[in-house]
Chains A and B, each alone.
Chain A
């Protein structure tokens, strides 16, 4: 066990956990930030996507010790009122079915748009193919990303 400071969504938390604990479980079990989802724990589904210093990361693959003192953003911190352009586009297109994958999809999409404000279809497909949606909402996710790209520009 080790005491560590975590900067999550602009707040500082002190946790006392095994340094090897994947960040995913620290967020969910210790900080009760359950918007970051558990899907596979092997880096294959993207449900656990967060931002580490602004870049999309799979939190199940990141030991908490490696995330200490860095800027972590989870879906709960993406926007204050759930109104980030990507979140708004998601509601606009009514993307979700079961919804379980969608916070990870949104975090990935927000990171993509930061890197590439005008992604092509191929950019979107490549970037987003790390995130599985078992319900098959891919077409709407693509559309929502394009919508968000447009609204962010305004």
Chain B
């Protein structure tokens, strides 16, 4: 039966010139013949162990990857953890993306650099559990004590008698055995797959242009939908006329939807969207694009509202102010609020007295604008809602967070939700907010048809969940001998501040004050690669550089000195870092970058940061060319514990470095009266190859600490490393992002 399905699909794919064919993800086409036929020409039987592993009688082994993939390569590194303990030949493993099924996988969370950290034990346990069941099955079959058997390479062996049997032959019996409660994991010294670079399991499909992404998903009879949203934040739909649009070729319908129902209590990842949208549905993208222009809509101002958001049980009232906001005004507001009282977040000693007694005060203010995620693949979602089920193909970082939202707003029972987790064309935090799943669902429901909702780049950029705009002032009090006697950090933002009061340099100063304030906004914001850290690190690490320079110390030695002090006699409680590991990356960076030997004609900057459980330090070498920094070399040192897939980890670090350089040099979304001013990539500058570093040299601290995150930690410290290097090159400090504005001022 399955064979026939497959054959039919294959034929359909070949007859590409005929219209109306099925072209979903290429899972059917990619199956090997044996997989669909089974050994004896019968339907194949995959035997499942632990929910993550499928084994066939002919010893084909498949591992399901639980976490959504958006380029951080978890689809390779997570299955590696299972394979490590299962004892199989990685080269023979097939990896398959798991569907949304969080009860089965326990966790399907892509975000916060947590994939590897939180999967490290559970996935290894899954592999070890299966291995123990297979061993037990062999022991039962051979009537031998299990202790005499070994598992390796997808087989169980009894060395004394030279007996061997494949997992495939054991799988069925193994599946019937009780699941061991305490699977025995390999010792760190026994790990032989973890730590060995393995290629991206989807590499071949990516370079061949196979259908992998939501944007690519197509089925028979599928309609294309796009929405029309208010032209500005602070506006909402008043009325519209779709008469002309409906007459356009290929158009099926034009209607309006309310995304969240009135009174729906949003959870943490249910971003406040433009809630009332006009939707245009038709046969093809181009037809919908053209018809969308013919809709005549009237917009009106919103009024201030208050909404309760339920953030994992913690309810918070959110004010959504009325009004049309502008970037220039934001800056004035932020500067004004810096001069007013703010909430005290942490206070050690008597900072007021120390500042009053200071011989010298160094005070610097830093700011950064809103940032769009600009994932390479614009937002899209496929939905097909029928009476039987609600089927989605969705690019979503945390699918389970969408469950209650789908249930409430699409009136679908939770057990009827089916979701394929498509490979995502980038995430960076944007795809933690799945409002587009609800939008697509509502459209499919109304059309009673399969629908793919597409955001154009303009839709994507103007309906973002942006990185907030931030400001912070760092102040240091110095005595007559240039000793730092107090530190004061005061930060704010729209609509949140970025001050992490317990992070370094907290703990290193006897007198310390951290304060924060927040200004509500109607512009939607959300997580963006290393939220808050991505700004505060840039300010903190630039300030420490300036401080070191003022008191005549080497910037790395200065940091190490502070860390040693914080370790020896920590000030205050809750200091959120491990001084030894922090010092460790700085020491290794000194060595690897040959810190004291700046190459001729180059200018060096350094910065370090700890966030998302990992420690990172960078050295950047620049030379100025045509008013822009040419980045000749970056040396990056990380301590993220055991590195599972080193080459892929390096790739991620390189990417974070380039992303950071791009954002601090060029990034910044501007608003004028609520309107996003840069609406596409021809108006918004993103880093391109010619601005990328010539070389990035990545080093990991070697240790056997359980692995921690990697996607975010290298990102925050690169901003300041570059700013500090540019200071050396130009004699000018860079306080306000994007730095290109400051560079242009000089020219």
CB contact list, B204-259 vs A, under 8 A = 204, 206-213, 215-216, 218, 224, 249
Q: Is A135 touching B376 in the complex (CB atoms < 8 A)?
A: yes
Among B3-11, B156-164, B583-591, B685-693, the one that faces the other chain is: B685-693
Q: Chain A residues with Cβ under 8 A from B655's Cβ?
A: 97, 135-137
- For residue B413, give the distance in angstroms from its CB to the closest CB of chain A: 32
- With A98-B71, A136-B692 already in contact, the answer to whether A106 and B681 are too (CB < 8 A) is no
Q: Chain A residues with Cβ under 8 A from B101's Cβ?
A: none
Q: Chain A residues with Cβ under 8 A from B423's Cβ?
A: 98-99
- For residue B279, give the distance in angstroms from its CB to the closest CB of chain A: 18
Interface membership of A7, Cβ < 8 A: no
Q: Chain B residues with Cβ under 8 A from A99's Cβ?
A: 71, 202, 206, 212, 423, 425
CB contact list, A31-47 vs B, under 8 A = 31-45, 47
What size tier do the contact residues of chain A reach?
35 or more
Q: Is A133 touching B376 in the complex (CB atoms < 8 A)?
A: yes
Interface membership of A4, Cβ < 8 A: no
Interface membership of B682, Cβ < 8 A: yes
Q: Chain B residues with Cβ under 8 A from A25's Cβ?
A: 284-286
* Chain B interface helix/strand/loop/mixed: loop
Chain A, Cβ-Cβ closest to B290: A18
Contact of A129 among B208, B376, B654, B690 (CB under 8 A): B690
- Give complex CA distance A25, B692 in Å: 31
Interface membership of A69, Cβ < 8 A: no
- For residue A9, give the distance in angstroms from its CB to the closest CB of chain B: 10
Q: Tally A-B pairs: CB < 8 A.
A: 196
Q: Is A139 touching B284 in the complex (CB atoms < 8 A)?
A: no
Q: Chain A residues with Cβ under 8 A from B206's Cβ?
A: 96, 99, 102-103
Q: Is A138 touching B658 in the complex (CB atoms < 8 A)?
A: yes
Chain B, Cβ-Cβ closest to A29: B284
CB contact list, A97-154 vs B, under 8 A = 97-103, 106, 121, 124-126, 128-142
Q: Is A34 touching B218 in the complex (CB atoms < 8 A)?
A: yes
Q: Is A29 touching B285 in the complex (CB atoms < 8 A)?
A: yes
- With A37-B215, A82-B204 already in contact, the answer to whether A136 and B662 are too (CB < 8 A) is yes
B189-215 toward A: CB 8 Å interface, digit per residue (1/0)? 000000000011011101111111101
Interface membership of B441, Cβ < 8 A: no
Contact of A75 among B209, B249, B657 (CB under 8 A): B209
Q: Is A32 touching B23 in the complex (CB atoms < 8 A)?
A: yes
Q: Is A87 touching B208 in the complex (CB atoms < 8 A)?
A: yes
CB contact list, B417-469 vs A, under 8 A = 423-428, 456-457
- With A14-B17, A34-B211 already in contact, the answer to whether A97 and B692 are too (CB < 8 A) is no
- Give complex CA distance A102, B153 in Å: 34
CB contact list, B31-69 vs A, under 8 A = none
- With A32-B16, A42-B681, A135-B659 already in contact, the answer to whether A129 and B651 are too (CB < 8 A) is no
- Give complex CA distance A87, B208 in Å: 8
- For residue A90, give the distance in angstroms from its CB to the closest CB of chain B: 5
Q: Chain B residues with Cβ under 8 A from A75's Cβ?
A: 207-209
Q: Chain A residues with Cβ under 8 A from B694's Cβ?
A: 121
- Give complex CA distance A125, B692 in Å: 9
Q: Is B207 touching A136 in the complex (CB atoms < 8 A)?
A: no
Q: Is A41 touching B690 in the complex (CB atoms < 8 A)?
A: no
Q: Chain B residues with Cβ under 8 A from A13's Cβ?
A: 16-17
Q: Is A96 touching B207 in the complex (CB atoms < 8 A)?
A: yes
Q: Is A129 touching B216 in the complex (CB atoms < 8 A)?
A: no
CB contact list, A1-55 vs B, under 8 A = 1, 11, 13-14, 17-18, 21-22, 25, 28-45, 47
- Give complex CA distance A100, B376 in Å: 6
Interface membership of A59, Cβ < 8 A: no
Q: Is A32 touching B21 in the complex (CB atoms < 8 A)?
A: yes
- Give complex CA distance A122, B663 in Å: 23
Q: Is A136 touching B654 in the complex (CB atoms < 8 A)?
A: yes
- With A34-B216, A43-B682 already in contact, the answer to whether A134 and B692 are too (CB < 8 A) is no
Q: Is B689 touching A140 in the complex (CB atoms < 8 A)?
A: no
Interface membership of A71, Cβ < 8 A: no
Q: Chain A residues with Cβ under 8 A from B659's Cβ?
A: 134-136
Contact of B209 among A14, A76, A94 (CB under 8 A): A76
- Give complex CA distance A8, B31 in Å: 26
Q: Is A129 touching B209 in the complex (CB atoms < 8 A)?
A: no
A-B contact pairs, 14 of them (CB 8 A): A29-B285, A34-B215, A35-B211, A40-B457, A40-B681, A45-B376, A74-B209, A94-B647, A96-B207, A100-B375, A129-B688, A133-B689, A135-B655, A138-B687
Residues on A lying within 8 angstroms of B by beta carbon are 1, 11, 13-14, 17-18, 21-22, 25, 28-45, 47, 74-76, 82, 87, 90-91, 94, 96-103, 106, 121, 124-126, 128-142
Q: Which 3 A-B pairs have the closest CB atoms?
A: A35-B209, A100-B425, A136-B658
